[in-house]
Structure 1
Amino acid sequence: MMDGIRAGTQLHVCLGLDKETTGTLLLARTEEALDYVQNLHKNHQVERKYWVVAVGVPVPSEGVIDIPVIEREVTGAQPHFK
């Protein structure tokens, strides 16, 4: 990403972040790549996988956590990236 910024290349955000997700972003260097990824997403051909790093062994070792990473009030539209 930094190479693209340093080279003056405009980076395009391909996919927005899920509400429950932080720290991930998919960028495209070209309009062609942007269109390709957006078409995949539109046709439900994108599979998102999330990996978690934990300290220790969680109990139980399997399950579903169905809560946001952080919850706060937001006034107006705010991007999920900087």
Structure 2
Amino acid sequence: MVNHIPVIATNISGNPKLVVDNQTGWLFEFADDKKLASRLLHIMDNKPLITDFGDSAFNYISENFSIKTAAKKYAQLYQR
């Protein structure tokens, strides 16, 4: 995502916190191979989405998970 590459991931664990479905990448149910195949075909048929979603992914990660953002969140925790 930081390299302007969108992600296709399962919607388990922390993935939904990092990937905004249909904005910064694509999520699918674990073990749903048909949904994964559908997502891949959709991307192959709409290649401009790779650039658009990649840029969105970079912006999302930069704004929400940068070192500066993490430091600010830790500082807020310590101030409590």
The structure with the greater share of residues assigned to helix is 2
Question: TM above 0.5, one fold?
Answer: no
TM superposition score normalised by structure 1: 0.29
The structure, 1 or 2, with the larger RCO (C-alpha pairs under 8 Å, 6+ apart) is 2
TM-score, length-normalised on structure 2? Answer: 0.29
Instruction: Please identify the structure whose Cα radius of gyration is greater.
Output: 1
